[in-house]
Structure 1
Amino acid sequence: MPGSDQPDPGRATELGMPPGARSVGSAGPGSGDVPPELEAVVARWNPQGTALLKAVRSAVAASRVALIGPDDANTTLLRTELARFEPRIDLTEPMSEVGAAVESTLPTGGAPAAVALILLDAGSTLGTDTLRLVRRLRADGIRILLAMNGIHAYGDWRSVRAHNLELLAAQGGADLDIVPVSARLAAAARTGGDAALLDRSGLTALHAELTASAAGAVDAGDGRLAALTARVLAETRERIVAQVATLRSGAEPARWREERATLLAGRDGGRATAMSTLRGQLHLARVDLMTEVGGQVRALHVAARTELDRLRPADLGDYPDRLQQAVSELTVVVDHGIDRRLAELATRLDGVDSGDVASAHRRRDPAPRVGPDPEPRHRGVEDHLMIALGASAGVGLGRLLVSPLALVPALDVASIPVTLLLGACVAWWVVRARRQVADRAHVRQWVSDALVNVKAQLEQRVATAVVEAETELADRVVRASATRIIDTDRRVAELEARIRRAAAEQPGQLAACERDIATIDRYI
């Protein structure tokens, strides 16, 4: 600033300003009267500071404020952080006993304090004792401020605060408010020099409330108001300077460009990766399902052969129906396996709904048919040969059995009919047994041929289901990736607009910041 703008030290002291402070006429910070243009700058950059200055000009705290809350580390840290603000709030020692607080708002006796600060737990709702305390203090004409300390440790503190306000309104305290604060966030903001974090901690808002509520007025000539105004202006200037540094560094546009490059790199919405994963998983599912079908058909074949060996000859004619029922049951098992495997496949794909794709959209064909019933077995040369062999064996067996009768000459002729009868019986038994064995072998061969056809139909069923699932899942992948592409394009367009707007507005923003800095520099 030019040297002519330097004020006279004696004049600054007369105005209630510390030596070296600047002023313009009588509207400097030392006079307690902030010009409108300077107040507008502070309001834009430091809203909490504006509220504090207004509170100081109206009524600031020269009296003590009774502190009612637990005497723990959080309360101690809160008092420590509040003590760093100007004007300093004179807090009493914390009173954790509600009964003692009702009797007096000052633990050391004397006149009761005009303001009481009640600390609430951010993790629990108001109790009956606290509500009774609020009613007693309000009945005694004491102004009450409620602060919810420790909001950094509770994610649901907003719902707890809303419930507490409802309880207060039910007790006639609808005009009361609860200020959410966190002394730990304030300490972290002070350590890191983060003004935005300090505002989020709520300490500045609580200090402004305490300043406005406390009784008494500050003598403008004691320098406290001048110091407070100078500190608010200095903080505001620091915020503007930090914004200027941010604008000139181009950190935000650089971050936006990096984000845009990342979005453009994945602009396809993961379609290529999803389609490659889909093809591999479908191929693996087809191989696994084909293997399962082959194993299940082989197990059914073994069970059918075992059942045929134990089946009575009279029941062979009904066996095709029994085999058809077994094939229908096997088809249900195969369908369940297909649905389960395709549903698992759908859940593994990114961007695809995890619903039951197979059961909702797969075509349901009837169970495979085992084919026409086995044709009647035709008699061949083997049957005639077995008749001849059976008769020959029967006659030989008959002669062997009646050979003792040949020793008696009178019975020799009678043995011939017996021999022939025994030969016919043996021949009939041999032919019957041969026919049963041939019929069983005929049905067994028919079962083998039928199950080969069933296996082919079940494998076709698997292939059809996999192809249908591939069509639908590929469509879902395309639609999901198209949605992500549209969203990516929208975000890229927003980032490009931000980058262009930042480039266009940066000179004007820098000029505005410099004007605000110059405005502050004229008064400090």
Structure 2
Amino acid sequence: MLRSLSDGGRAVPVVAFGPSDANSRQLRAELARCAPQVTLVDPPVPQHESAPAPPPAALILLDAGGSVGAATLNLVGWLAANRTRMVFALDGIHAHPQWRTTQAEAAAVLGPVAGAVRIVPVSARLAAAARTAADATLLDRSGLTALHAALVEVAGTADRQPSVTVEQVLTATRVRIEEQVQALRSGTEEARLREQRAVLLAGRDGGRAQAMSALRNQLQLARVDLLHEVGARIRALHAASRAEVERLGPSAVRDYPGQLEATVHTLAAELDEVAARRLAEIARGLTPPDAEPVAPLAARIDPPPSAGPGPEPRHRGVEDHLMVALGASAGFGLGRLVVAPLALVPTLNYASMPVTLLLGGGIAYWVVRARGQLAQQAHLRQWAADALVNVKAQLEQRVSTRLVGAESRFTDDVVRLTTARAVADQHRLAEVESQLRQMRAQQPAQLAACDRDLTVVAAALTDNAARIARGVEMS
């Protein structure tokens, strides 16, 4: 920029070629705030089908997220053929992290047409943020200063007092050097690195203690939930078996133990699925976002729980013989009551005795049979209750065994993940300590360089002030 001021000529307007979008309008607004001001104009519209005159200076805006098209190549070729001084700007670098690749590709494409070109990366949004926050470093990163200097160089300057512009540039340079000195002496960067080192030292185990504690808590919670699920399923199965036994007929009693065994196998498969889903959730919680997912647990091939051998045959006891006697007595009594009206007829009195015997025998058989069926159902219900107690113990052992195996596997995964994280943290800690040592070693040299630069800038400001004073006296 200072070299461009030595020409002393009048500035020419710079024609801006590029898309008319929000980014380009914001870039023009930010350039308008820079001094000396560069006049940016839109391309002339051709009239009467005649080609427009080539501008002496041009700004070619390229998109940081796109490639150079044929229209841009034709335009650059036309401007280069007419010896137009061109400045290329890659706009929108804040939104495209891969802008360096785009810059290299654009330079390779434009090189055969315009020769060796320099493409200035720029972001008007970063420039606006730097102006709001008064951050000189962010302003340099935005590329606005470099683009403005390039435009001033191709356009010349219309400032009638170049020494004033020189003073502005030197003053801005002195402010940046003083900010750098203040940052070096304040130790802000060193404090940030020390804080980062303290965080890395606090987590030198890679977070293993926290991960193991979380794993134990999750497994204990899973154990409680799964055992509660086993108890609830067994209670529901017990209630269903009682209702089903009460509906069984005499012929279906023998088939019920097989049905209960099949129901227990189905219940075990369902509980295995519930446990697998719960362990999969724990495995997903162990995996950090930046690591590979933990491999799922292999399905265990365990024998299903068994309800045990079927119920033993019910042995007849004193109660059964008593029920036979009571049933016969009740039957003969009811039979006698039924045939009592026949005794009033002399001709039918002899037939009352066989009828009484038949009715008494039938009623006695029904009472004994019904009592036997009730006793068989009670015997089967008691067997089912005892069998389900055994099944519950087997299912609880099955769940506990699976959780113990999962804990061993998850512990290995936690150790593997935290070891890798601890190694990475150790490397990062070594880098931070190296940066701290390098910063302590380079700080005196940097401060001395800043002091020398401030001396040079102060001398230049003094000389420039003397030139301004001589110009005033001559005027």
Q: Same fold (TM over 0.5)?
A: yes
Percent sequence identity over aligned pairs: 50
- 1:57-103 Cα offsets, whole Å, 9 max, x none, are 99998543223464985254144134x14xx64x25345x7657x96
Partner of 1:481: 418
2:368 to 424, 431, 439: 431
Matched, 1:182 2:123: yes
Match of 1:93 among 24, 32, 41: 41
Shift in Å, 1:318: 0.7
State the alpha-carbon separation in 2 of the partners of residues 370 and 117 from structure 1.
Answer: 88
Deviation string 1:321-349 (CA, Å, 9 cap, x unpaired) is 11112212222222222223333334445
SS at match of 2:312: coil
User: Cα 1:351–1:147, aligned 2, differ >3 Å: closer, same or farther?
Assistant: closer
1:81 is matched with: 33
Corresponding position: 1:299 with 2:236 = yes
Question: Quick one: distance in 2 between partners of 1:415 and 1:356?
Answer: 88
Which among 435, 438, 445 is matched to residue 382 of structure 2?
A: 445
Q: Which runs of no fewer than 5 residues in structure 1 stay unpaired?
A: 1-48, 106-110
| SS of 1:316 mapped into structure 2 | coil
Q: Quick one: which of 440, 443, 446 aligns to 1:506? A: 443
Q: Give the aligned length.
A: 456
Quick one: which amino acid aligns to residue 93 of structure 1?
Answer: V
CA shift, 1:449, in A, is 0.9
**Structure 1: how far apart are the matches of 2:330 and 2:262?**
43
- For residue 66 of structure 1, the aligned residue among 6, 9, 15 is 15
Task: Give the counterpart letter for 1:338 in structure 2.
Answer: A
Local SS of the residue matching 1:147: strand
Query: How far off is 1:373 after superposition?
Result: 1.0
Mapped partners of 2:143, 2:294: distance in 1: 50
Letter in 2 for 1:199: D
Indicate yes or no: 2:442 matched with 1:490: no
Deviations 1:212-235 (A, max 9, x none): 545xx899xx984x8777776666
Match of 1:278 in 2: 215
What is the deviation of 1:210?
3.2
Q: Distance in 1 between matches of 2:312 and 2:9?
A: 112
C-alpha distance in 2, partners of 1:316/1:167? 90
1 CA distance for matches of 2:340 and 2:228? 65
The answer on 1:471 being equivalent to 2:412 is no
Is residue 115 of structure 1 aligned with residue 67 of structure 2? no
Distance in 1, matches of 2:444 and 2:105, equals 48
Contact 1:328 1:367 in 2 (8 A): yes
Shift in alpha-carbon separation, 1:328–1:99, aligned structure 2, 3 A: farther
RMSD: 4.4
What amino acid is aligned across from residue 59 of structure 2 in structure 1? L
Q: State how 1:180-259 maps to structure 2 within 5 Å.
A: 180-183=121-124, 185-186=126-127, 189=130, 194-211=135-152, 213-214=154-155, 224=162, 239-259=176-196
Quick check: 1:60–1:212 contact (8 Å CA) kept in 2?
Answer: no
Q: Is the 8 A contact 2:93 2:123 kept in 1?
A: yes
User: For the Cα contact (< 8 Å) 1:179–1:206, is it kept in 2?
Assistant: yes
What is aligned with 1:23? none
Note the C-alpha offset of 1:391: 2.3
Q: Deviations over 1:227-257 (max 9, x none)?
A: 7777766665655554444434433323222
Tell me if structure 1 keeps the 8 A contact 2:226–2:275: yes
The amino acid that maps onto 1:487 is: A
Secondary structure of the corresponding residue to residue 418 of structure 1: helix
Distance 1:182 1:256 in 2: 29
Q: Take 1:362 and 1:195, find their aligned partners in 2: how far apart are those partners?
A: 61
In the superposition, relative to structure 1, how do residues 507 and 203 fare at CA in structure 2: closer, same or farther (>3 Å)?
closer
Tell me the amino acid that sits aligned with residue 310 of structure 1: R
Q: 1:203 to 1:218 in 2, by over 3 A?
A: closer
Select between 132-141 and 249-258 the one with higher mean Cα deviation. 132-141
Q: Which amino acid aligns with 1:80?
A: A
Query: Which is further off, 155-164 or 205-214?
Result: 155-164
Contact kept? 1:263, 1:492, Cα under 8 Å? yes
2:329 matches 1:392: yes
Q: How far apart, in 2, do the equivalents of 1:170 and 1:434 lie?
A: 108
Shift of 1:453: 1.0
Distance of 1:126 and 1:508 partners within structure 2 = 44
| Structure 2 CA distance for partners of 1:427 and 1:74, relative to 1, 3 Å | same
Unaligned runs of 5+ in 2: 464-475
Per the TM alignment, residue 306 of structure 1 is displaced from its structure 2 partner at its CA by: 1.2
Q: Secondary structure at the match of 2:58?
A: strand
- Per-residue CA deviation, residues 432-469 of structure 1 (Å, 9 max, x unaligned), is 22221111111111111111111111222222233233
Q: Would the aligned equivalents of 1:59 and 1:213 in 2 still touch at CA under 8 Å?
A: no
- In the TM superposition, 1:284-363 aligns within 5 A as 284-349=221-286, 351=288, 360-361=297-298, 363=300
What per-residue deviation string (whole Å, max 9, x for no partner) do you get for residues 304-333 of structure 1?
A: 111122222211111111111221222222
- Structure 1 residue 371: deviation in Å? 0.8
Within the candidate set 379, 385, 394, 1:457 is matched to 394
Q: In the aligned structure 2, how far is the partner of 1:263 from the partner of 1:474? A: 23
Quote the residue 2:469 is aligned against: none
